[in-house]
């Protein structure tokens, strides 16, 4: 078999890239290791920047998003019980949309006309240094080969694409944090109209939502914490302690329908192009979820990559593919900086001690008193221009 582009991974990055190429008349095969149900079973964040909404429009996959997505004009910060609303619309005339990543994935799956190859085992990119790359995979005991012009590695942090590059050609930048987020999903209305990001000496907490009847809550826990140690009751008690009293009182609790712990990590690989292989999305970078940037960053990578691959295939110009890595890394590092900053402001870091907490308090007080500081948060949270 032969195609223009082989995309490895059918998460939101791979599916969006596939859809943009499909609409431009560029052939692409998508190879995914898991089943569609498995992919749709992953619970991820759910805050979309305007750029991501625009891209869903371009992909002709946005009907449900416009009907069901919730426009949020701001967020609430809480620091040891003191509250500050950040009013994006008043500060910079922008907003975000709450719409689950799972739903984005489902809409992109439904929009795609060509079949996606699911449950592809042992996917391997080959010869991307030369002019004739190809990808092999196994299905039902048979090995298949797809010849192509380009390979897009959209296979997430643990994927094969980045691992296939000679490690001497890669520079990795990484920061791990000594904590993770314990999250639960519950069929109860959200505690507040907007998201509440809370710092407390017991640790960070976040009140998020998926719909008017479904909520998502998180508490910071040590990185080696065992999810089994957290009954629903323990979770709700801990969350209440970390919120300001008024929010805690309004909390509607119920049985969790999902409960898991995710570690926090900042990670960037450079460069993102190796001959005819490109990395995009979580394969290229990870941000801690505090700034809600992961999905949006993956989407802006593939918007740039799609334009580059369309230009290379249809206009036979390599300008876009040559510029891809440097262009997207600029935006990636700005999102890394913002996600690290939000994480540093709102979590407890045992190693920084009392001095560290005073600095965090000063940062919060500065935010409360400075419209300029609030504008900076607002423009980063709602999405910097690409
Ligand atoms: N072969 C084929 N597919 C693979 C392989 C492999 N060797 N390894 C991983 N995959 C698949 C995974 O099963 C997954 O479906 O690649 C896909 C990668 O999807 P995501 O992890 O969702 O990454 P991405 O599409 O870049 O989306 C980024 O996801 O993790 C969040 O915060 C992140 O919201 C951001 C978004
Ligand atoms: C979520 O709803 O899961 C969510 C929202 C905002 C974040 C992170 C996660 O910053």
User: Which pLDDT value is given to residue 52?
Assistant: 98
pLDDT over 80 at 59, yes or no: yes
Question: Is 216 a pocket residue for ligand 2 (Cβ < 6 Å)?
Answer: yes
- Tell which one of 12, 44, 45, 182 to mutate to probe ligand 2, the residue whose CB is within 8 A of the most ligand atoms: 45
**Structure token digits, residue 182:** 């314990």
> Mean pLDDT of all residues in the chain?
97
The candidate with the shortest Cα–Cα distance to 177, out of 44, 297, 347, is: 347
Instruction: List C-alpha distances in Å: 17 to 101, 308, 310, 370.
Output: 16, 11, 11, 40
- Name the pLDDT band for 300 (thresholds 50, 70, 90): very high
pTM of model > 0.85: yes
Q: Are 142 and 50 in contact (CB under 8 A)?
A: no
User: Which pLDDT value is given to residue 48?
Assistant: 98
User: Which pLDDT value is given to residue 87?
Assistant: 98
| Ligand with the closest atom to the CA of 258 | 2
Spell out which residues line ligand 1, taking CB within 6 angstroms.
Answer: 8-14, 31-34, 39, 44-45, 101, 120, 123, 154-156, 158-160, 281-282, 294-295, 298
Q: Are 243 and 205 in contact (CB under 8 A)?
A: yes
User: Which pLDDT value is given to residue 350?
Assistant: 85
My answer on whether omega of the bond before 375 falls inside 30° of 0, hence cis, is: no
User: Which pLDDT value is given to residue 170?
Assistant: 97
Q: Average pLDDT, stretch 201-211?
A: 96
Ligand 2 center from residue 210 Cα (angstroms): 9
pLDDT digits (tens, 9 = 90+) for 109-167: 999 999 999 999 999 999 999 999 999 999 999 999 999 999 999 999 999 999 999 99
Q: Are 76 and 196 in contact (CB under 8 A)?
A: yes
The candidate with the shortest Cα–Cα distance to 303, out of 82, 21, 2, is: 21
- Tell which one of 108, 116, 159 to mutate to probe ligand 1, the residue whose CB is within 8 A of the most ligand atoms: 159
Query: Which of ligand 2's atoms lies nearest the C-alpha of 291?
Result: 10
pLDDT over 80 at 66, yes or no: yes
Cβ atoms within 10 Å of 95's Cβ, excluding its own: 17
Report the DSSP beta bridge partners of residue 83. Answer: 78
**Structure token digits, residue 268:** 């960037």
| Catalytic annotation, residues | 72, 197, 289, 293, 381
pLDDT digits (tens, 9 = 90+) for 307-327: 999 999 999 999 999 999 999
User: Which pLDDT value is given to residue 85?
Assistant: 98
pLDDT digits (tens, 9 = 90+) for 332-371: 999 999 999 999 999 999 888 899 999 999 999 999 999 9
Q: Average pLDDT, stretch 284-289?
A: 98
User: Which pLDDT value is given to residue 324?
Assistant: 98
Q: Average pLDDT, stretch 18-37?
A: 98
- Tell which one of 30, 156, 277, 335 to mutate to probe ligand 1, the residue whose CB is within 8 A of the most ligand atoms: 156
Query: Which of ligand 2's atoms lies nearest the C-alpha of 292?
Result: 10
Question: Domains along the chain?
Answer: 5-72+95-174+265-343 (3.50.50.60), 177-263+347-382 (3.30.9.10)
Question: Tokens 């305007």, residue?
Answer: 50
| Ligand with the closest atom to the CA of 294 | 1
pLDDT over 80 at 173, yes or no: yes
Kindly give, in sequence order, each residue whose CB lies less than 8 Å from that of residue 329, ignoring residues fewer than 6 positions away: 268, 270, 271, 272
Question: Is 289 a pocket residue for ligand 2 (Cβ < 6 Å)?
Answer: yes
- Name the pLDDT band for 43 (thresholds 50, 70, 90): confident
pLDDT over 80 at 386, yes or no: no
pLDDT digits (tens, 9 = 90+) for 101-116: 999 999 999 999 999 9
| Ligand with the closest atom to the CA of 295 | 1
């Amino acid at each position: 078999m032969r195609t223009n582009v082989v995309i490895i991974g059918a998460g939101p990055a791979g599916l969006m890239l596939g859809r943009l190429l499909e609409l431009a008349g560029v052939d692409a095969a998508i190879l995914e290791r898991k089943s569609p149900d498995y992919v749709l079973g992953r619970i991820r964040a759910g805050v979309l920047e305007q750029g991501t909404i625009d891209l869903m429009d371009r992909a002709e996959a946005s009907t449900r998003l416009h009907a069901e997505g919730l426009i949020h004009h701001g967020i609430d910060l809480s620091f040891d019980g003191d509250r500050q609303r950040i009013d994006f619309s008043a500060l910079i005339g922008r907003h975000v949309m709450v719409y689950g990543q799972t739903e984005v994935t489902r809409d992109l799956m439904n929009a795609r006309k060509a079949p996606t190859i699911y449950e592809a085992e042992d996917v391997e990119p080959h010869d991307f240094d030369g002019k004739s790359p190809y990808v092999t995979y196994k299905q039902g005991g048979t090995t298949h080969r797809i010849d192509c012009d380009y390979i897009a590695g959209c296979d997430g942090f643990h994927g094969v694409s980045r691992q296939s590059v000679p490690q001497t050609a890669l520079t990795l930048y990484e920061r791990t944090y000594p904590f993770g987020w314990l999250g639960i999903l519950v069929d109860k209305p959200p505690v507040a109209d907007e998201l509440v990001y809370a710092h407390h000496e017991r640790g960070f907490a976040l009140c998020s939502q998926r719909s008017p009847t479904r909520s998502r809550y998180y508490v910071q826990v040590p990185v080696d914490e065992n999810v089994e140690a957290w009954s629903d009751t323990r979770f709700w008690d801990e969350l209440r302690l970390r919120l300001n009293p008024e929010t805690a009182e309004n909390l509607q609790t119920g049985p969790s329908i999902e409960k898991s712990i995710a570690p926090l990590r900042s990670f960037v690989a450079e460069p993102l192009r190796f001959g005819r292989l490109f990395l995009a999305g979580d394969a290229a970078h990870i941000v801690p979820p505090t700034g809600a940037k992961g999905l949006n960053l993956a989407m802006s990578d593939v918007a740039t990559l799609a334009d580059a691959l369309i230009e290379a295939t249809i206009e036979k110009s390599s300008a876009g593919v040559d510029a891809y890595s440097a262009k997207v890394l600029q935006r990636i590092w700005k999102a890394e900086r913002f996600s690290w900053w939000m994480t540093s402001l709102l979590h407890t870091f045992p190693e920084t001690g009392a001095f560290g907490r005073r600095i965090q308090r000063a940062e919060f007080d500065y935010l409360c008193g400075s419209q300029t500081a609030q504008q900076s948060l607002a423009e980063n949270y709602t999405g910097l221009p690409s």
